Amino acid sequence: MPNRADNRGMTSLIPESPRPTRAKIVATIGPGSDSPEMVRKLIEAGVAVFRFNFSHGVFEAHKKRLVVVRSVAKELDRPVAVLGDLCGPKIRVGTIPKSFVPRGPMNQGGGAIELATGQDVVFRRGISEATVERERVAGQDLATPVLPVTYAPMTEEVEPGDRVLVNDGAIRMLAVERSRDGDWLRCRVTIGGLVTSSKGINLPDSRISAPAITEADWQSVAWAVENAVDFLALSFVRRADEVRELRRRLSSMVSSETPPIPIVSKIEKPEAVADLDEIIEASDAIMVARGDLGVEMDIAQVPVVQKEILARCQAWGRPCIVATQMLESMITAASPTRAEASDVANAIFDGADAVMLSGETAVGKHPALVVETMRRIITVAEARIAQSPHIESPPQKLIESKYATAALAHGAWHIAKDVGAKLIVCWSEAGGTARYLSQNDFHVPIIAYTSSPVAARRMALLRGVTPIRADAPPSGLLRDFTDMAERDMLAKGWIRHGEPMVLLAGKPLGTAKATNSIATLFVGDPNGGYRSHRS
């Protein structure tokens, strides 16, 4: 879109360049977005990663969607990643029979129970469906709802006085009594509302013994490995040991030649915030899962915690995804609220590598429009960042690592700054060089070539990186790669004749962990335009 003045005389911040945004868009696929036509629209609108939520649906449905995503991405010649999101020990209300008809609106034709403030509710283990019990209290005949739960130990582990929150805290209760044998737990409703089947339950005051990875999760892990999912998100992480446990299992499920699936740890528990650095170190990426985080802790703390997580991820050089309710109103509306637009922009200003859409694309009315809206917000925010003075430095943990490729990537930043490079182009067979370049927070687009489809898809999450799957030049010569990159960038309109770009590669080309040289190239200059800076 060309620069233009709006009706107030202000210059638009939307740049002319057709290059993708630096921050990536993660979109949840679901019933509202799983047709081949819609998947194509979403990819063209800017989706780099599709999230598959294992909390909903069956493997057969996930497989069909995976086939659609992979086939459409292949047709478009776009490396698009797939993120499998493990359910984790999410505690939910059990089944509410359809025979329960509340006074309020129904939920997709299912049953629901309307809870009034002040009434009692009983959670009971060992039952499959909700019931109602009649009992005499203070001379009155009262109807007490009895609800099943998916986590049987809940009735033993919640103490009187603990909070019990349903549906992301929209319905709030206080535990008042439990049976000696732990078969039931009585709660008093402090804020009422409509309860439907499978609504989530949060227990912010209780010590829950449930493992971070359930038996159902291990089935999802096996499916993810079998179907070559690109990332796995671990829900309700409390300690770094839980991430390491998943990594050990993933490593045992693949051959030594195949890199295990990278792990995205979801920060949504106060315990995870307390152990943040160790969890970040153990993970490949982090997700700020603000839904449960905002229920488990004081909502006023969530924006501060989000900023702290982003800052710590930058220090460690780990990609960070900001998720939950980013454009929530667009599930039904055709445009977001001003607050939602500011929320997305502020995540970009704070250095988020990716922003995520959940119900907006999974079940919303306008999946393609919501992605396009998010892309435009990112574009304008990044244009503002590019115009602002900023201090760039590699992550502190990266400096301490002493890795040769990390040092080479930082050297590329200095060269790019000195020559005013418009692009950074690298050959990154396994994705390592692209990852180090991304961690240096270049405000210059990074184009990463690889012959590996898996590496190309996994690089789709890296901020500022546009992966390109291509065969290495038959000669294996760096000069031939330079010619190929120059030709491709000109054809895409990402660079112009005479403009400089920085190239990183190694010998032999197409081999992992071989990056050992940097060069600058002034595009289209046959006389000394190529300058090598060998490490």
* Active site amino acids: 51, 92, 266, 324
Residues 219, 91: Cα–Cα separation, whole Å: 18
Identify whether the C-beta of residue 283 lies closer than 8 Å to the C-beta of residue 252.
Answer: no
* Alpha-carbon separation of residue 519 from 315, 422, 483, 524 (angstroms): 28, 14, 13, 15
Q: Which one, of 271, 266, 295, 318, lies nearest residue 86 by Cα?
A: 266
Name residue, tokens 């050992």: 516
**Beta-sheet pairing, 184-191 with 131-137:** unpaired
Name residue, tokens 């992605």: 371
- The amino acid occupying position 329 is S
Name residue, tokens 């197409």: 510
SS3 for 117? coil
Identify whether the C-beta of residue 367 lies closer than 8 Å to the C-beta of residue 42.
Answer: yes
Residues 227, 70: Cα–Cα separation, whole Å: 11
Cβ of 84: how many Cβ atoms within 10 Å? 24
The string over 216-227, giving b where at least 16 C-beta atoms fall within 10 Å of a residue's C-beta and e elsewhere, is: ebeebbebbbeb
- The amino acid occupying position 381 is A
Q: Which one, of 83, 15, 70, lies nearest residue 39 by Cα?
A: 70
Cβ of 302: how many Cβ atoms within 10 Å? 18
The string over 240-263, giving b where at least 16 C-beta atoms fall within 10 Å of a residue's C-beta and e elsewhere, is: bebbebbbeebeeeeeeeebbbbb
**Beta-sheet pairing, 500-506 with 515-522:** antiparallel
* Alpha-carbon separation of residue 261 from 55, 242, 246, 247, 454 (angstroms): 19, 15, 10, 8, 10
Identify whether the C-beta of residue 264 lies closer than 8 Å to the C-beta of residue 287.
Answer: yes
Contacts of residues 403-407 at CB distance under 8 Å and 24 or more positions apart, as own/partner, are 403/436, 404/516, 404/535, 405/432, 405/433, 405/436, 405/513, 405/515, 406/436, 406/439
Residues 329, 132: Cα–Cα separation, whole Å: 35
Percent of residues in the chain assigned helix, strand, coil, to nearest 5: 35, 25, 40
Q: Which one, of 93, 96, 326, 90, lies nearest residue 220 by Cα?
A: 90
